[in-house]
Chains A and B, each alone.
Chain A
Amino acid sequence: MVERTPDPIDRAYSDAEKLLHEAGERSARRARVLAAVAQDKAAKHQTSAPRFIPRYGWLVAASVMVVSGYLILRFLPLQQIGSPPTAQTAAVKPAQKNQMTAALSPPAPAPDLVEPAPAGPAPNATDHAPPVTQERAVSSSRRMASAAPPPAKIAPSPPLAAPPPPPPPAIAAAPPPPPAPTPPMAARLAAPMVAAPAAPPPALRTDGSKPMGELATNPGLDELRAAAGAGRTAEVQELLDRHIPVDSTDASGETALMKSVRADQPATAALLIRYGASLDKKNNAGFSARDFAAQVDDPALKRALGLQP
């Protein structure tokens, strides 16, 4: 066992630390660390507790698939998936199609209403449709319509409520018939499965580089780039210490490092590199900070960027 023998220099160092100790810094640090630990512990509890959620999610997904499959089989003749409808389809189940047409038509008043019925587009169909079936069809179509995109790009098919159509031409050679003014029910139901177009992604970015949230909530980003371009290293340091993202970009895709390089500010550039700024991130014109540095004839700048020994 080696004895612990104190030395005057040890005591002097300890005294020096005490003399330079700043209570304000320490209490702020204490609050920050203990808050971080508490938050971390709470997050750990949250992530470890509900392990049933993924399994439950799969169950929901499976249930949705089963219900969807049932609805497809219930309302959509198999022939209409992937091939144009034929006359036979329209002729085989006229009663069912009448129900569907009724479901798509404006709701007809009940027979016991006092007011006279308005002239509907398909009065015969509504007359023959049993009230209960009609209600179910309406609710089904509403459910499906709420989940499906508009059927504008569906391969058109002849209306179901029409009288028996003439014999169809050869399917392979037939040009697609002109779109009907009101697409039939079956086509509407088939819309999401047959010809659902990929929806364009939501417009998350306004300038092709920055998320909107970043623009709206972090005013330090512009300050960082401005300070970097002006070579205000201390201000850059302060902003980075506030965890402003070092590689955030402006409308033209330029980062703080690009600004500092273009302004030939080696000290600021070195600081940004130390904080992990990317030399290879490109602006909207396709140029990186490395490209800009190659155009600046300053060995100090190149050394600061680590491009030259």
Chain B
Amino acid sequence: MGQDQAIGEDAELLRAHLAGDGQAFARLYDKYDRSCFRLIRRLLGSSGAEAEDLHQETWLAVSRHAASFDPRKASFASWLYTIARRKVWDHFRKQKITHLVLAQEDVIAAVPDPGPTPFQQAESRETALALIHAVEALPLAQRETFILFAECELSLEEIAEITEVSAETSKSRLRYARATLRRLLSEREAVHG
């Protein structure tokens, strides 16, 4: 119910923006900018400047195409992350690096899931950085699934719709991503004690 209410609020804010209410767009931006930017930045995995540009392009697209948003088809969050994801993939396409990233997927997918580890939270900046780098090292498909789930808090169905795969595939990707992250962090813990 709370989620439905949030969806209605988002649609209302977008309508207010279309009607000329400048504050409405700012409220919508404040609500989603953090997760949107993190999604873009982690998908890019490298340059912060590029992430800033794509983030701005995403919000410009939201503003320009606000009239085409239909809350009956998807939540605003799904719509926003779809736009953001497409911006990143367009960027990859221009840079011609998509295939290089995707080529690793099969190899990583073969990693078995070792189960939960004692690692419960990012305890220090160093650990946090290590975890971020590990996320950025994931194959792109797993990475976007993981971020959309962990950071953007979307359901697997929503992720499946955004990434244009089945819910089962999304679930597998999420499982592989978690397994890889656990393995990398376990190795790090073993090295650093």
Instruction: Give the interface of A toward B (CB within 8 A).
Output: 1-2, 4, 7-17, 19-21, 26, 29-30, 32-34, 36-38, 40-41, 44, 237, 241, 274
Complex interface: chain B residues within 8 A of A241 (CB): 49
Contact A8 B25 (CB under 8 A): no
Contact A12 B120 (CB under 8 A): yes
- Given known A1-B157, A19-B122, A20-B125, contact A29–B151 (CB-CB < 8 A): no
Contact B122 A12 (CB under 8 A): yes
For chain B, what secondary structure do more than half of its interface residues adopt (helix, strand, loop), or is it mixed? helix
Contact A4 B156 (CB under 8 A): yes
Provide the bound-state CA to CA distance between A30 and B150, in Å.
Answer: 23
Provide the bound-state CA to CA distance between A1 and B170, in Å.
Answer: 13
B95-115 contact mask (Cβ, 8 Å, vs A): 1 or 0: 100000000000000000000
Residue of B whose beta carbon sits closest to that of A6 = B150
Contact A29 B33 (CB under 8 A): yes
- Given known A13-B146, A19-B125, A30-B29, contact A37–B131 (CB-CB < 8 A): no
Provide the bound-state CA to CA distance between A95 and B76, in Å.
Answer: 82
Instruction: Give the interface of B toward A (CB within 8 A).
Output: 22, 25-26, 29-30, 33-34, 37-38, 49, 52, 55-56, 59-60, 63-64, 95, 116-117, 119-122, 125, 127-129, 131-132, 135, 146, 149-151, 155-157, 167, 171, 178, 181-182, 185
Contact A41 B116 (CB under 8 A): no
Contact B30 A33 (CB under 8 A): no
Residue of A whose beta carbon sits closest to that of B58 = A33
From A9, A10, A38, A40, residue with most partner B Cβ within 10 Å: A9
Complex interface: chain B residues within 8 A of A38 (CB): 22
How far in angstroms is the closest Cβ of chain B from A39? Answer: 10
Residue of A whose beta carbon sits closest to that of B59 = A33
Contact B26 A10 (CB under 8 A): no
Complex interface: chain B residues within 8 A of A32 (CB): 52, 56
Complex interface: chain A residues within 8 A of B22 (CB): 38
Provide the bound-state CA to CA distance between A1 and B34, in Å.
Answer: 27
Contact A9 B181 (CB under 8 A): yes
Provide the bound-state CA to CA distance between A15 and B25, in Å.
Answer: 27
- Given known A20-B129, A37-B63, contact A13–B25 (CB-CB < 8 A): no
Query: What 19 additional pairs, Cβ within 8 angstroms, besides A9-B116, A13-B150?
Result: A2-B167, A8-B120, A8-B121, A9-B119, A11-B120, A12-B119, A15-B122, A16-B122, A26-B34, A29-B33, A30-B29, A34-B25, A34-B29, A36-B60, A37-B63, A38-B22, A41-B63, A237-B49, A274-B95
A-B contact pairs, 26 of them (CB 8 A): A8-B116, A9-B116, A9-B117, A9-B119, A9-B182, A9-B185, A10-B178, A11-B121, A11-B150, A13-B131, A13-B150, A14-B150, A16-B122, A19-B122, A19-B128, A26-B34, A29-B33, A29-B37, A30-B29, A32-B56, A34-B29, A36-B56, A36-B60, A40-B64, A44-B64, A237-B49
Provide the bound-state CA to CA distance between A11 and B171, in Å.
Answer: 17
- Given known A10-B149, A13-B150, contact A37–B25 (CB-CB < 8 A): yes
Contact A13 B181 (CB under 8 A): yes
Residue of A whose beta carbon sits closest to that of B118 = A8
Complex interface: chain B residues within 8 A of A37 (CB): 25, 59-60, 63
Contact A2 B181 (CB under 8 A): no
How far in angstroms is the closest Cβ of chain A from B178? Answer: 5
Contact A2 B157 (CB under 8 A): yes
Q: Which of B33, B63, B119 is in CB contact (< 8 Å) with A26?
A: B33
Which 5 pairs between the two chains have the least Cβ-Cβ distance? A16-B128, A16-B122, A10-B150, A241-B49, A2-B156
Q: Which of B33, B157, B181 is in CB contact (< 8 Å) with A33?
A: B33
Complex interface: chain B residues within 8 A of A44 (CB): 64
Complex interface: chain B residues within 8 A of A40 (CB): 60, 63-64
Contact A34 B122 (CB under 8 A): no
Complex interface: chain B residues within 8 A of A17 (CB): 38, 128, 132, 151
Contact B155 A7 (CB under 8 A): no
How far in angstroms is the closest Cβ of chain A from B35? Answer: 9
Provide the bound-state CA to CA distance between A26 and B52, in Å.
Answer: 10
Complex interface: chain A residues within 8 A of B25 (CB): 34, 37
Provide the bound-state CA to CA distance between A38 and B122, in Å.
Answer: 38
Complex interface: chain A residues within 8 A of B167 (CB): 2
Provide the bound-state CA to CA distance between A41 and B55, in Å.
Answer: 17
Provide the bound-state CA to CA distance between A210 and B80, in Å.
Answer: 41
